[in-house]
A and B are shown apart, each in its own frame.
Chain A
Amino acid sequence: MKRKLRPTTRKSFVTYAIVTAAFIFVEILVSSGSASNMFKGLLVPFCVYSIAAVSLNLTVGILGELSLGQAGFMCIGAYSSAIFSCAVKDTITSPWVRFPIAMLLGGLVAAVFGILIGIPVLRLRGDYLAIVTLAFGEIIKNVLAALFIGSDSKGLHFSLTSQGDLGLEPDGKMIINGALGISGTPKDSTFEIGFVVLMLTLIVLYNFINSRTGRAVMSIRDNRIAAESIGLNITKYKLITFGLTAFLGGVAGSLFSHNLAVLQASKFDYNLSILILVFVVLGGIGSIRGSVIAAVVLTYLPEVLRSINNYRMLIYSIVLIVMMIFTSNATIRGFFAANLAKLKGIVSKDKTAVKEGN
C-alpha cells in the first residue's frame, strides 16, 4: 500500500510548489526582458514582506497573541545587519559569506529583543502584548533615527545628538547618520537570495507548526487552562514562538536593508507594522500560504495602481474593516462555512467516486 501524505504535509508541499513556480515564472519574465523596472524593483520587497508576514502569522495565528511591532523587529534586523556589513565589507569581500552572517546576526539581535519584551509581557493574560509591541516599535524607530555612529582609527564613536558630537578623526567615516540613516550598505540582496530565504522560512514554519512544540503552542491558543492542565509550561512556549517571530522579522529586515541605497529608521513606522498585520489578516489568520499571497498581491497592487496611491492606506483600512465584519459576523461566517463545506463535500465525493471507479 502506498503511504498517504498527511494533510498537513500536503498543505506545506503545495505552498512550496506555488512559491517555486512563481519564482521560476518571474525569473523567465526577467530574463526574457519583459519585466518592467518597477516590477524588478518589487522582487526583493515581495520576499521581505512575505517573510515578515508569515513570521507575524506565527504569533497572531498560531499562538493567538496580537503583536503590533513587527516593523520594530525588522528595523532592528535591518540596522544590525547593515552595521555589520558596513563594518566588514572591506575585510569580508564575498557577499556569499558576508550576507548570510549579516542576516543571521540581524535575526538574532531581533530575537534577543523579542525575548526581552516577551519575558515580562507574555506571562500576563490579556492583550498586553499588543500595547507593548506597539510602543516598542515606535521607540526603536525613534531611537535609531536619533543615533549617530562613526568609526575612525580610534574605534567606534556613538552619539545621540549630532554628527559633530562624535569628534571623528579626519580619516573617520559615518556608519549611522541619525535620521539620514545608513548609506553604503553593500547591495547583497537579490531576488534569488530572497527566494531561498523565503523557502527556508516556510520550511521552518511548517515544521514548527506540525511539530510537538507547534501542537503545544496551538493548544495554548485554543484553551489556556486546558493547556496548563496537561502540564505545559505556557510562558516557555509563548516565548519560543514570539522569539521565532522576532528572529524571522529581523531576517526580513536584513534582506530589506541590503536592498536599499539608504536605510532610514522612519521607514519602519507604525504603518508598516499595521501593513504586515493586514497581510496576515487578509491572507487568513493562521494560514501561512495566505500570508505569502496577500503580501505579494498587496505589495504589487498599489504599485500598479499608482494613480490612486494616495488612497492606499485608506483602501487598506476599508478592506480591513470589511474583512473584520465578514469574519466576526456569525451569519456571514456561517454562510461561508456552509458553502465551503458543501464545496468540499462535492470535491471529496468526486474523489471517492474516482477511487471507486478505479
Chain B
Amino acid sequence: MAMLEIKDLCVNYGMIKALKGISFEVNEGEVIALIGANGAGKTTTLHTLTGILPAKSGSVRFNGVELTKTPAHKIVKMGIAHVPEGRRIFQQLTVLDNLKLGAFTRNDKDGIAEDMEMVYKRFPRLAERKSQIAGTLSGGEQQMLAMGRALMSRPKIIVMDEPSMGLSPILVSEIFDIITSIRKDGTTVLLVEQNAKKALSISDRAYVLETGKITLSGKASDLINDEQVKKAYLGE
C-alpha cells in the first residue's frame, strides 16, 4: 500500500474547477516531484492534502486513513508536514519561536530538543540567528526557516511548495541538497516545483500537472529525457 494515495481528487474555488480528478501516489521513502506551469493546480493539491482546502470529491488516504474529512490541525499530528508556498514564516516572531511552533503538536520535550539540534545542524545559518526576528531574514534564510519549522513536527512525509522560488542558483542547489539529505534520513518528500530540471534530478518519480489534470507520469529519469517535458518545462 502506498503511503499517500490520491484518487480522483476534485477541488473547486466557487465556480472555478482547479483540480479535475487527479490521482497519484507516494510510497514510503520516495521523493516525488509534482511539476506544472503557473496555475496548474499544484498549490491547490498540497492545500487539499494538508486539509487547508476542502475537497469537492475524491479521496486522499494517508496510510489508509481518509484525510479529506480530517481537519488541518489533526493532519499534522498524523505525520504530514507542509512547507507552504512563498516562505510563509511568522514574520514578527523570532527564529526560535518559529521553530518551536513547528513542534506545536508534540509534547515530547526531549525529542523536540533533539530535533531542534538536528535543524540547527542542517541549517547552520538559523543557529546563528536564533533570536533574530524572522521577517528580517533574507529570502533564502526564510525558506530554510520554513523547512526547518516543518521538520520540527518530525514528519513521516514532508510536502514542499516551490522551495526554490526566487532564490539564487547557489542557494537553489543548497536547498535541493538539503532535500536529498532529508530523504536520506528517512523522510518521504513530495516536492512541488517550477524548476523542473532540478526537481527531476533529485526525485524518483514525477507527475506533470496541467490545468487541473495529470497529463504525464513516470520515473524521473525517463521524464527528464521526454521530448514533451523538455519542450514544455525544461526550456530545451
- Residues of chain A having any CB pair with chain B under 8 Å: 212, 215-216, 218-219, 221-223, 225-234
A216 touches B90 (CB 8 A): no
Q: How many A-B residue pairs have CB under 8 A?
A: 74
With known contacts A231-B73, A231-B104, A222–B91 Cβ distance under 8 A: yes
Interface size on B, residues (CB 8 A): 31
Q: Which residue of A lies closest to B50 (CB)?
A: A229
A-B contact pairs, 26 of them (CB 8 A): A212-B100, A215-B93, A215-B100, A216-B104, A218-B92, A219-B101, A221-B92, A222-B91, A222-B93, A223-B88, A223-B90, A225-B88, A226-B84, A226-B149, A227-B90, A228-B51, A228-B52, A228-B72, A228-B73, A229-B72, A229-B84, A229-B88, A230-B76, A230-B105, A230-B153, A231-B77
Q: How far is the CB of A241 from chain B (nearest CB, A)?
A: 16
A222 to B153, CA, bound (A): 19
Q: Give the Cβ gap from B102 to chain A, nearest Cβ, in Å.
A: 6
Interface of B is mostly: mixed
**Contact flags B197-213 to A (C-beta < 8 A → 1, else 0):** 00000000000000000
Question: Which residues 127-167 in B have Cβ within 8 Å of A in the complex?
Answer: 146, 149-150, 153
In this complex, what residue of A is CB-closest to B131? Answer: A7
* Residue in A215, A225, A233 whose CB lies within 8 Å of B101: A215
A231→B88 contact, CB < 8 A: no
In contact, A229 and B100 (Cβ under 8 angstroms)? no
Q: How far is the CB of A207 from chain B (nearest CB, A)?
A: 16
**Contact, CB under 8 Å: A231 / B52:** no
B71: which A residues are within 8 A, CB to CB?
Answer: 233
Within the assembled complex, what's the spacing in Å between the Cα atoms of A268 and B75? Answer: 44
Q: Is B97 engaged at the interface, CB distance under 8 Å to the other chain?
A: yes
Contacts of B104 in A (CB 8 A): 212, 216, 230-232
- Which of A215, A227, A229, A230 is most buried by chain B, counting CB atoms within 10 A of its CB? A229
Interface: B82 (CB within 8 A): yes
- Report B89 CB to chain A, min CB distance, Å: 7
A229 to B88 alpha-carbon distance, docked (Å): 10
B93 adjacent to A219 (CB under 8 Å): yes
Residues of B within 8 A of A (CB): 47, 50-52, 71-77, 81-84, 88-93, 97, 100-102, 104-105, 146, 149-150, 153
B93 and A229: CB pair below 8 A? no
- What residues of chain B lie closer than 8 Å to A232, measured between beta carbons? 73, 101, 104
Q: What are the residues of chain B within 8 A of A231 when measuring CB–CB?
A: 72-77, 104-105, 153
Contacts of A226 in B (CB 8 A): 84, 88-90, 146, 149
Q: How far is the CB of A10 from chain B (nearest CB, A)?
A: 14
In the bound complex, residues from chain A placing their C-beta under 8 Å from that of B72 are 228-229, 231
Residues of B within 8 A of A219 (CB): 90, 93, 101
* Extra pairs beyond A222-B89, A228-B52, A229-B88 (16, CB < 8 Å): A212-B100, A212-B104, A215-B97, A216-B104, A222-B91, A222-B92, A226-B146, A228-B51, A229-B72, A229-B81, A230-B104, A231-B74, A231-B77, A231-B104, A232-B73, A233-B73
A229 to B81, CA, bound (A): 7
Q: How far is the CA of A215 from the CA of B99 in the complex (A)?
A: 11
A7 — nearest CB in chain B belongs to which residue? Answer: B131
Q: How far is the CB of B208 from chain A (nearest CB, A)?
A: 25
Tell me whether A216 and B101 are in contact (CB under 8 A): yes
A226 to B51, CA, bound (A): 12
A231 vs B104: C-alpha distance when bound (angstroms): 7
A142 CA to B235 CA, complexed, in Å: 67
The complex places the Cα of A98 from the Cα of B92 at a distance, in Å, of 43
Assess whether B76 is in contact with A225, with CB atoms less than 8 Å apart. no
Query: Which residues of A sit under 8 angstroms from B52, Cβ to Cβ?
Result: 225, 228-229
User: Which residues of the other chain, B, contact A230 by a CB distance below 8 angstroms?
Assistant: 76, 101-102, 104-105, 149-150, 153
The answer for the CA separation of A12 and B146 in the assembled complex, in Å, is: 30
Compute how far the CA of A212 lies from the CA of B100 in the bound complex, rounded to whole angstroms. 9
B112 to chain A, nearest CB (A): 11
Closest Cβ–Cβ distance, residue A125 to chain B (whole Å): 12
Enumerate chain A residues within 8 angstroms of B82, measured Cβ to Cβ.
Answer: 229
B93 interface neighbour in A212, A218, A225, Cβ under 8 Å: A218
CB pair B76–A229 under 8 Å, yes or no, is: yes
CB neighbours (8 Å) of B93 from chain A are 215, 218-219, 222
Chain B residue nearest in CB terms to A233: B73
Q: Which residues of B contact A234 (CB under 8 A)?
A: 73
CB distance B89 to A223 under 8 Å? yes
Closest to A218 in B: B93
A230 to B90: give the CA distance in the assembly, Å.
11
